[in-house]
């Protein structure tokens, strides 16, 4: 965690107490999307771009299952089908001979770089899909990515806001107003996002894939020559960044759980706070946890979406 010294001093007690209750405190920050009107005086559309992650032998046979589940969840909550783009998953399908494809890991590490093939190809695919849906550069694009799909979205969003830095590539595609990237169980290796893009890192201490990826730096260095560092959440603190911490979400379950889809949909709605923060839940020893969680949310932009698990004797 790379937090400023003064902040750590002010909140050390709160973080320590809450970590005892909840079992984990990742590093993370914040909020606020504007909705300008377009040149015609009409409110821009909001479109959702969905992307799955690396496929493994223990996952669902469909390599695009995460995007498919997200699409169904958004439709069930009233999002129009023409405003949903379920991206084709480029990561190879796992087999019994290649249960955790090495090529997929290499592609994930390449996705940290804006000029890599996987990143530029993803942008081209997004551009084609948005063009088919008659999206404009003034429409609001929300990228939701599971696992490696979240990191890919962060890099694609950088490209969308920085096409002037890549003039040759800019001749092929159009700029898009990606206003938010939501990552679900994503090991984060690079955050190049401008502050105009809101970043929401959804994290759970129950996600062993993220835990393994961020704790085995020697393995990625030895096997893939990766000299960087993967973290459970972005290490860049800015006003447009917040962590959503959930209890006991397994890596392949991020897009299965209704509470996760509900939270994603509420990201852009009216002011929202987790139901367990209500005064009605303040009995049975929860009041102190609520105070600490509100402080962490307000000052460090770490939002505990589930009540801490209190062990009773």
pLDDT digits (tens, 9 = 90+) for 239-261: 889 999 999 999 999 999 999 99
pLDDT tier at 44, thresholds 50, 70, 90: confident
The domains found in the chain, sorted by start residue, are: 28-281 (3.40.50.1820)
The pLDDT of residue 192 is 95
According to DSSP H, which parts of the chain are helical? 5-22, 65-76, 102-110, 117-132, 148-161, 167-170, 208-215, 217-224, 258-266, 287-295
Lowest mean pLDDT among 74-78, 119-123, 179-183, 306-310: 306-310
Region 201-226: mean pLDDT is 85
The CB-based long-range contact list for 137-140 (8 Å cut-off, 24+ gap) reads: 137/174, 137/175, 137/176, 137/177, 138/36, 138/38, 138/39, 138/44, 138/177, 139/44, 139/45, 139/46, 139/47, 139/176, 139/177, 140/33, 140/35, 140/44, 140/45, 140/46, 140/47, 140/177, 140/179
* Of residues 145 and 280, more confidently modeled: 145
* Of residues 221 and 70, more confidently modeled: 70
Averaged pLDDT of the chain: 84
The pLDDT of residue 281 is 66
pLDDT digits (tens, 9 = 90+) for 71-123: 999 999 999 999 999 999 999 999 999 988 999 999 999 999 999 999 999 99
Region 211-224: mean pLDDT is 78
Round to whole Å and give the CA distance between 98 and 210.
Answer: 20
The pLDDT of residue 130 is 97
> Cα-Cα-Cα-Cα dihedral of 260, 266, 271, 274, to 10°?
-20
The pLDDT of residue 311 is 53
The pLDDT of residue 24 is 38
* Of residues 299 and 19, more confidently modeled: 299
pLDDT tier at 217, thresholds 50, 70, 90: confident
Round to whole Å and give the CA distance between 175 and 168.
Answer: 13
**pTM value > 0.85:** no
* Of residues 26 and 150, more confidently modeled: 150
pLDDT digits (tens, 9 = 90+) for 14-41: 443 444 334 434 433 333 334 455 554 5
């Amino acid at each position: 965690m790379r937090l400023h010294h003064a902040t750590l001093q002010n909140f050390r007690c709160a973080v320590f107490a809450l970590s005892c209750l909840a079992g984990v405190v990742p590093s993370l920050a914040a909020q606020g999307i504007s909705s300008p009107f377009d040149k015609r005086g009409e409110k821009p559309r909001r479109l959702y771009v969905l992307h799955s992650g690396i496929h493994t032998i223990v996952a669902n046979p469909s390599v695009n299952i995460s995007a498919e589940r997200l699409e169904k969840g958004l439709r069930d909550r009233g999002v129009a089908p023409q405003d949903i783009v379920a991206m084709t998953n480029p990561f190879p399908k796992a087999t019994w001979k290649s249960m955790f494809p090495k090529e997929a890991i290499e592609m994930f590490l390449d996705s940290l770089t804006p000029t890599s093939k996987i990143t530029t190809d993803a942008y081209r695919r997004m551009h084609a899909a948005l063009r088919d849906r008659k999206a404009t550069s003034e429409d609001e694009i929300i990228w939701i990515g599971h696992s490696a799909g979240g990191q890919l979205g962060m890099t694609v969003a950088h490209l969308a806001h920085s096409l002037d830095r890549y003039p040759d590539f800019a001749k092929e595609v159009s700029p898009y107003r990606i206003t938010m990237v939501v990552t679900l169980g994503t090991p984060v290796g690079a955050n190049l996002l401008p502050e105009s893009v809101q970043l929401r890192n959804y994290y759970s201490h129950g996600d062993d894939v993220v835990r393994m990826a961020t704790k085995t730096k020697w393995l990625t260095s030895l096997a893939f020559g990766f000299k960087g560092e993967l973290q459970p959440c972005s290490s860049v603190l800015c006003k447009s960044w917040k962590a959503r911490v959930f209890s006991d979400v397994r890596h392949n379950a991020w897009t299965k759980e209704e509470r996760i889809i509900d939270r994603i949909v509420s990201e852009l709605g009216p002011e929202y706070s987790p139901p367990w923060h209500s005064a009605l839940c303040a009995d049975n020893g929860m009041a102190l946890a609520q105070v600490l969680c509100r402080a962490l949310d307000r000052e460090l932009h770490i939002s505990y979406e589930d009540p801490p698990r209190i062990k009773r004797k």
